[in-house]
A and B are shown apart, each in its own frame.
Chain A
Amino acid sequence: MNLNVLQFKSDSERLTHNLDHRERIQSALKKYYVARDDKKARFQDWQAARQAAAETKWEAVNHLDKYLVEFADKIEARGAKVHWASTAEQAREIILGIVKEKNARRIIKSKVMTGEEIHLNAALEAAGYDVVESDLGEYIVQLRHEAPYHFVFPAMHLSRGEISDLFEKELGSAKTDSPEELTMIARRVMRDQYLAADIGISGANFAVAETGMISITENEGNARLTCALPKVHIALMGIEKVLPKFEDLALFLPMLGTAGAGQAVTCYNSMYAGPRQPGETDGPEEMHIVLLDNKRTHLLADIEQRDALHCIRCGACLNVCPIYKNVGGHTYGTTYQGPIGSVITPHLRGIQEWKHLSSASTLCGACTEACPVKINLHHHLLHNRRNAIAQKPVWWEQTLFHLSSILFNHPALWRLAAWGGRIGQLFHPLIQGTILDPARAWTKTRDLPPVADQTFKEYWRSRQK
């Protein structure tokens, strides 16, 4: 078993037994469900909007070459510099190169999931730069040296008490159990950071091909400050973020706000069309866009799963996933957690190492139902399972299937097995849950349903008499 599997198993085992954790996640999500249902109900036709969003993304992804070039050319014409990175390493080098060239020391970052994906902070810190996360949740997990727990709510797993202790230890602030005071502590720290930073790094939620803009969605205003105050703005984004038209935002911004956080739209939705233009008195002098492939083209080449690139990272599928709700975000060990993470991680990082995630699903379809761009998530999880097995069959599974088929094809053997099962059941309690128990994985935490006294055949025969 590879390390990822072992880690997933032991972490999920530990967390599912942690009732505090479960309680915290459930209560956070309950607030989300109420708000989301309210905002969804305000749409005149949510299903038609979903279909339109899915079709718009289809158009963009299936003509990605065209729209990406259009976006890059347009935004370059407005003075931004576009960089293309095939790998995580190239992206890090590009960003480090800009930072070095600018003689920058301090870097402020608003939330960038692609930054997590390429381990940008570690690279910048290793090169001797200070990087501060400005999103409150990201800042909290940064202080704890953790990865985000959820790609929309990074610190969802922590209680205010834990955050207060953390701030006390790291920032020397007084203890408080008021979320408001805790937020203000971070606000004060961050204000100095914005004013002192030489470089601001952001992500992008959308890139508009038609007009050459990126669009950033947020609630706190940290991204706005990150893209307004430092002299240089670097935006790191996946190549799949493109939308064809400016007006498409009129559909996508409310859908992202509603599905993602239960808001009609989030507090700030900002479009950036290049660095400071002639006649403008503030904003960065330079803007750099780093377009990241990092195996996205691998996913693109798979026609069956290409639509996973439609994802707008709203997190709705995580919020409804029974597995996510119980095992939590860190257990996945991936940049993108939950159903969408389980779908794309095998493509981005290797199917054999990450195929276990596809089994971390109840296949209930709640994720598919929640997805605002209609990605058929639970079917993709099945496809991943199939692909992993087709690529590298597991010998003992194959043996089992082979033996079962012999059993099913020979009535005499089947009768023998049914009889054996009933006898075996009498003795099962002696070994139940122990190492000797062949059904241990199941019986450790659950009862095995009793084998019926009669097989169906026997029952039928007795009725005929």
Chain B
Amino acid sequence: MNLVMAAAGAVLFLILAPVIGGLISGVDRVLTARMQSRRGPPVLQPFYDISKLWHKERAFANPVEMILTSGYLVLIALSGAILFSGGDLLLVVFALALSHTFLILAAYAANAPYSTVGAERELIGVMVAEPILILLAAGFFMVTGSFFVSDILADTTSAIVYLPGVFLALFAVLTLKLRKSPFDIATSHHAHQELVKGVTSSLSGRTLAKVELAHWYETIIILAMMLLFFAANPILGIIVVIICYFLEILMDNLFPRVTWKMTVKSLWTITLILGATNIAVLGILGGVIV
């Protein structure tokens, strides 16, 4: 992939990801409502929400929030831009982890009890999600011999053939990354939860809008990572990703009261059994395949 393509990929991501991410979140809310036999909000509802938040009064628990939430948004956008410009997958994973650190710091900065507990649980969330993202980068390296997304895309066999375990583990982590199932962790979208929006509980107006926007970026990043498994067959990849997202919503509605302890246990078990075993088997069978 040459420089022009890389730049185009990054710019397209920066512009389109919020639009698509917002639409996905709107469709998500409508589907959730239908599963509960309600009508649900309009598909454009997330955009109305953000626009409203942008016009709220600027009230801060701590002015530092402004810088920290901006840092969160910028770093997530950056890691997405690296991913879509065909850059280093490891860099994407670490930029993603760093961005969450900013969000956690923003929550700690408020120095409020709910916010602090929210920050701690967000930290647990990062701790749970990070191992599988690193395994993912390692897996791609073993299959294609490169950490670069451009090389992974150029590969003629889809990585899913060699990494089904890692893919399933990533699918499991998606629940956490979409801020869905553990209702008492970080900032799940459920109305009645233990921490009333956890990590964002002291954010309001623009700072909250930035966190929401960053969340849309992140959704696209994770979905794109799933798509990466189907580099040689993008159409099949898109279908699989759509099915995965639907299953995610279904699971969220079936198990709305998953706690953070259950999440840590189940996701680490899944990561260990599926992800790590997959990588180990690959290693035993022949190390780097290419």
Bound pair (A, B): no
